């Protein structure tokens, strides 16, 4: 059974391993660590199965809005609902903080993620041309507005 819980600094090594496994251009380790452990506006969750971290999700909390910054699942656990479970946890966090708007950026080519977010009611706002600096891919900005 999958458990989702708030992350701890002890989770960092496995979370960063999943980050590197999941993205062609992962966040830099020090930047990631700073956000994961030191940033007071960041909230990170991990998905755990049999005491092993299999995915993670992070967000930044602002005034009446939240920004989903990262969701990733280890390759062996993809397409099993782990990402959906993590996004559900992020939305619960938003509700508990009385957040009215949730934003995110997603690669234009990441159709599975786009479909996942649309399944939660996110809609596309606009395209940021060349948003991903490593390769120039466009990013789609999406929003979910809670009434």
Catalytic residues: 105, 117
Contacts of 128 (CB under 8 A, 6+ apart): 105, 138, 139, 140, 141
Instruction: Please give the structure tokens belonging to residue 43.
Output: 């909230």
User: Residue written as tokens 């939660």?
Assistant: 120
Which residue, chain included where needed, has tokens 């399944």? 119
Round to whole Å and give the CA distance between 120 and 125: 15
């Amino acid at each position: 059974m999958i458990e989702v819980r708030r992350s701890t600094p002890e989770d960092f090594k496995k979370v960063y391993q999943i980050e590197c496994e999941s993205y062609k251009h992962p966040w830099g380790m020090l930047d990631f660590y700073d956000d994961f452990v030191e940033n007071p506006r960041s909230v990170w969750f991990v998905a755990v199965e049999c005491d092993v971290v299999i995915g993670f999700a992070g967000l930044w909390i602002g005034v009446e809005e939240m920004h989903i910054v990262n969701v990733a699942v280890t390759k062996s656990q993809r397409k099993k609902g782990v990402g959906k479970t993590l996004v559900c946890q992020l939305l619960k966090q938003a509700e508990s903080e009385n957040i009215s708007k949730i934003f995110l950026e997603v690669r234009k080519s990441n159709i599975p993620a786009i479909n996942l977010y649309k399944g939660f009611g996110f809609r596309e706002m606009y395209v940021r041309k060349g948003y991903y600096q490593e390769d120039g891919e466009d990013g789609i900005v999406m929003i979910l507005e809670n009434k």
